[in-house]
């Protein structure tokens, strides 16, 4: 017997995009970039970041921080990790006498590439970093609220929608949210959607500080979660999904940041 199945989200693809996938011209895998932005469109339908109305009067320090964020995003866009198609396959064979064997095939970038991308990703992700997304959106937010012109409400609406999406992307896997959106739109049961219990914030902390950047807090917990080859592969795949979904978000927001400061450069 052969059974073919597809994810809930696959039934809603392709999605028409409002704007080209940011920095897709810098990758060897533009289709991969398009895939992630189709999921972002399906769940959030974010407004075009390039159309964010420009702001004035950024200080030299503010511009330094924003330009650093943009440069990091441009560098991240060329990462082999973002251009890769990470996946795992588990082949289960059962003989007539009931014996079962499993063969795992994992398709990930090299550990060196993952570690290098993780270091750069952390600069955008961690609220403690000087040029993180959080710091940049706070700078833009301050200027937005102090600027009284005809575009103020439009800026505020665009900024709020991007900020809300970021909070959701730190709380849930994008693939889960896309599956849930499809099920809700079609009136399907949502109680058995895969990966509902995966928490990107917790998973990222474990990989950053229990393995890839530091071998400290979370190392023992990560070892327990990855106690065998299959569990380790699944956790690595989920971590790679978190890096991908947030990285593409940051690439998009860097275009908003460029638009915000274009009068000042």
Looking at per-residue confidence, does 63 or 264 come out higher?
63
**Whole-prediction pTM value?**
0.92
Backbone φ and ψ for 239, nearest 5 degrees, come out as -60, -45
**What distance in Å separates the CA atoms of residue 114 and residue 155, rounded to the nearest whole number?**
35
**For residue range 7-64, what is the model confidence (pLDDT) as tens digits?**
899 999 999 999 999 999 999 999 999 999 999 999 999 999 999 999 998 999 999 9
Instruction: Give CA separation, 193 vs 48, 172, 244, in Å.
Output: 30, 12, 20
**For residue range 86-117, what is the model confidence (pLDDT) as tens digits?**
877 777 777 777 777 777 777 888 999 999 99
**What distance in Å separates the CA atoms of residue 250 and residue 134, rounded to the nearest whole number?**
10
**What distance in Å separates the CA atoms of residue 208 and residue 198, rounded to the nearest whole number?**
16
Q: 23 with 79: CB under 8 angstroms?
A: no
Q: How much is the average pLDDT of 215-231?
A: 82
Residue-level pLDDT at 5: 66
**For residue range 175-222, what is the model confidence (pLDDT) as tens digits?**
999 999 999 999 999 988 999 999 999 999 998 999 889 888 878 888
Question: Cβ atoms within 10 A of the Cβ of 63, count?
Answer: 14
> Per the structure block, which two tokens stand in for 38?
């189709």
Question: Cβ atoms within 10 A of the Cβ of 50, count?
Answer: 14
């Amino acid at each position: 017997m052969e059974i073919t199945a597809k994810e809930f989200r696959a039934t809603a693809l392709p999605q028409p995009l409002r704007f080209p996938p940011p920095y897709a011209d810098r990758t060897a895998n533009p289709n991969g970039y398009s895939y992630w932005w189709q999921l972002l469109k399906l769940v959030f339908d974010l407004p075009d970041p390039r159309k964010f109305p420009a702001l004035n009067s950024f200080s030299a320090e503010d511009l330094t921080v924003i330009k650093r964020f943009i440069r990091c995003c441009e560098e991240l866009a060329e990462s082999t990790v973002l251009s890769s198609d990470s996946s795992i396959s588990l082949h289960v064979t059962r003989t007539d006498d009931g014996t079962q064997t499993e063969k795992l095939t994992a398709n990930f970038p090299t550990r060196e590439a993952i570690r290098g991308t993780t270091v750069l990703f952390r600069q955008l992700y961690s609220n403690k970093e000087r040029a993180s997304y959080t710091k940049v959106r706070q700078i833009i937010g301050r200027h937005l609220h102090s600027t009284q012109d005809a575009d103020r409400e439009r800026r505020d609406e665009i900024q709020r929608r991007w900020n809300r999406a970021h909070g959701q992307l730190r709380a849930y896997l994008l693939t889960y949210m896309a599956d849930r959106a499809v099920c809700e739109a079609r009136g399907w049961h949502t109680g058995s959607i895969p990966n509902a219990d995966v928490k990107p914030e917790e998973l990222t902390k474990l990989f950053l500080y229990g393995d890839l950047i530091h071998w400290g807090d979370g190392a023992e917990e990560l070892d327990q979660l990855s106690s065998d080859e299959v569990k380790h592969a699944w956790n690595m795949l989920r971590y790679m999904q978190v890096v991908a979904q947030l990285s593409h978000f940051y690439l998009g927001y860097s275009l908003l940041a460029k638009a915000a400061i274009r009068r000042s450069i």
